[in-house]
Homo-oligomer: A and B are copies of this chain.
């Protein structure tokens, strides 16, 4: 009953097979092989336009280098107060941007409220050097709370950002889960709604280590190769990332894996809804479930082998869990077994 994180799962057999297949022979290094180029083309197809794609090794690298590439001196990134870039990357975005500030924007369910965003941006007067200069808005889809922005909300946020000349960045560590959950196309969930740069994650969804930065306007990516190399993220044998992506996209494997994860999460959600002992903390919309459990129930589940993490309550809901309760996160993945979910659900009854 492992619900600790989707990165506790391994790689899909098709990913391993691709690695084995492409390991033969010599291929030019540093992103210049035929395979690298074929995968870049796959990205063009998936996003229905020419894009610039840069492979990196971690989601933290994707977010940090994406933001670094659009930074300005004294730059400020507006993001949700509990965004992953703020709370879970050990300051990497600040480090790679040489100190851009992650300015918190509040909003319910882990999502930026456009009205709050507008107000926060308005605090920055043009040419007022002391406050620094806003340079980007960063949203996650799905967000750190597993919830989703509607396409229209993305569009609204993009409009607010663009009005002030800010880049809109999307952290898509669980991009496939977001696609399946919303039913949107990759293009519809991103650039068609105003997203400028995307952290495209595949690691959590059945790969070993396959993350990419997608810049929707390639003309804006001319300095990126230097930013990536200086950031120690240019793999030599890039075909090992490319091979994973090849398998990932083939025959829709990525969407099938994400679909399974989402369904397993929905099962957990149903179990919570039916439970008298526990409850959802907020709506479950992708492959993460946040639940408030009685502490003794959580302890019993852990004794029985369940693995899941306690979670900090949002700043806006410090009293979310009562004194005898605990807020926990349950994550499902492509390899979560239905059996485990059923067993876990049993405890909730």
* Interface, chain A (partner B; CB < 8 A): 2, 4-5, 7-13, 15-16, 19-20, 22-30, 56-61, 64-65, 72-76, 86-102, 104, 119, 123, 127, 129-133, 203-204, 208-209, 223, 225-227, 229-237, 239-240, 312, 318, 335
Contacts and interface: CB of A to CB of B under 8 A. Distances in A.
Contacts of A225: 127, 129
Nearest to A336: B26
Contacts of A29: 4-5, 7-8
A130 B7 CA distance: 14
A246 to B, nearest CB: 14
Counting chain B CB atoms within 10 Å of each CB, which of A59, A76, A102, A234 scores highest?
A234
A203 B24 CA distance: 15
Counting chain B CB atoms within 10 Å of each CB, which of A9, A95, A231 scores highest?
A95
Copy total for this chain: 4
Contact of A98 (B57, B64, B90, B99): B99
Counting chain B CB atoms within 10 Å of each CB, which of A88, A130, A225, A312 scores highest?
A130
A122 to B, nearest CB: 9
B234 A129 contact: yes
Contacts of A93: 99
Counting chain B CB atoms within 10 Å of each CB, which of A7, A30, A132 scores highest?
A132
A229 B129 contact: yes
Contacts of A61: 232-233
Contacts of A236: 5, 7, 58-59, 203-204
A232 B91 contact: no
Nearest to A84: B130
A322 B90 CA distance: 40
A24 B10 contact: yes
Given A64-B232, A89-B232, 4 more contacts: A5-B236, A12-B23, A92-B229, A204-B236
Contact of A230 (B99, B203, B226, B232): B99
Contacts of A30: 7, 129
Contacts of A27: 8, 10
18 contacts: A7-B237, A8-B27, A19-B208, A57-B57, A58-B233, A58-B234, A73-B226, A73-B230, A89-B229, A91-B99, A91-B100, A91-B230, A92-B232, A95-B231, A98-B98, A123-B312, A129-B225, A129-B234
